[in-house]
Structure 1
Amino acid sequence: MKTWNCIIVDDEDVDRLMVVAFAKKFPQLNIIGTYKSAEDAIDILNKTSIDILFLDIDMPGFSGVELRKKAMEVPVCIFITGHAEYAVESFELETLDFIVKPLRFERFERAMQRIEQFLEIKEKATLFELSFGENAIFIKEGSEKSKINLFDILYLEALKDYTLLVTPQKKHCVWSNIGSLLKQDPFQSFTRIHRSFAIQKQFVKKIYAQEIMLSNNALLPVGRSYKESLKLLL
């Protein structure tokens, strides 16, 4: 059976022990540690590969939301909290599920079903969806593989855990966030101009203060923190 490493962080002893008790009912969960504060959990995140975070939000010191921001590389985050008002903010941090206390086993079980489905799809996509060749990538779309020349990709667009590869003919979707994709050698020719967009220099038609026009007349925004990237396009 495939197992996933998880940690549980909650400053309330009773709530933390309840999550532990429920998690132990699922043999696919390998509990690496339980912690009373987000600060206590930081060390293990730097030492061990973690697949799942079970986090309270309102804790002394820094919150579960702040911990998630420091651990965005962890694929799954489940918030378990008594504060429903944090729901919107939490889902901006790639949260898979948000559970309002008091925690019930039936609700935890539903969260586990989502986790299993998400991680199984993610693993399959990682193994089979995207592969590289010389100056090209191959994307599994249904039962067929599509070959895309890297030099034909106008831009990349982030869609949470997915990235769109936009060519003049079609938009292709791969299961990989844009940050991870840009670390791959075949994508070193791309320049990130926004949290959600990366482009290739040869397709730049015009550069404006807050936008870039590409050869297909598409207008893409330039993020404030990416202004320096414009120098690479000149």
Structure 2
Amino acid sequence: MITYLIIDDEYIAHDIIKGYCGLLPNMQLMKNCYDALEAVDYLNNNTVDLIFLDLNMPKLKGFEFLKTLTLPPKVIVTTAYREFALEGYELNISDYLLKPFGFERFLKAINKTVSVTTKTTKSSVDKKDAVSKSIFLRSNTKYIQVTMDIIQYIEAAGNYTKVTTTKETIAIREKISDILELLNDIDFIQVHKSFAVSKKHIKSIEGNRIFISETIIPIGKTYKVNIIQLLK
């Protein structure tokens, strides 16, 4: 479960973010805060995985609030002010959403930002959390949360990309290049113009073929250098 906090002085902003999060699985709203001081009070006794943070608020501005946090969670800024983007990234925010933003841009920010943690109590903040990264994939009209560890390979298939996991194959209407942007290139490697594989799921490599479970993946000529780097 991904717990989150909305900090914004506009009621409609809360409704939009909460509505978008409601389209995704495992997103749990912990509190609506309408100024940063209210959020400070909540975070003194509670923890969350993610904050949606507005910048132009009364009493305490968004970045001023962020600087008061010693162990901030992931932060996605939601604002109408483009000019503060650089300062935001200097404060290590995860993404910067300019209002008004649509669901597709919102989903990209979530995929870029969110990790699913096993953290359940405040005391666990002092420990190294076990983290399993996940992404949201759109299949037809629903959004499926997939743990990256179980993805074996992805395959371009016409206007779709097939994401094959240890449990199922999910067809999504995205380019393979867009999916690769979501995946960690430390864990995944492109081996063909139509295929990228998870390094951890490679069973063996023989000639121009990669074996993953019972599937044979071809190695393209222009991608052999990636395999050479992998085998060093």
Higher RCO (CA-CA < 8 Å; seq separation 6+): 2
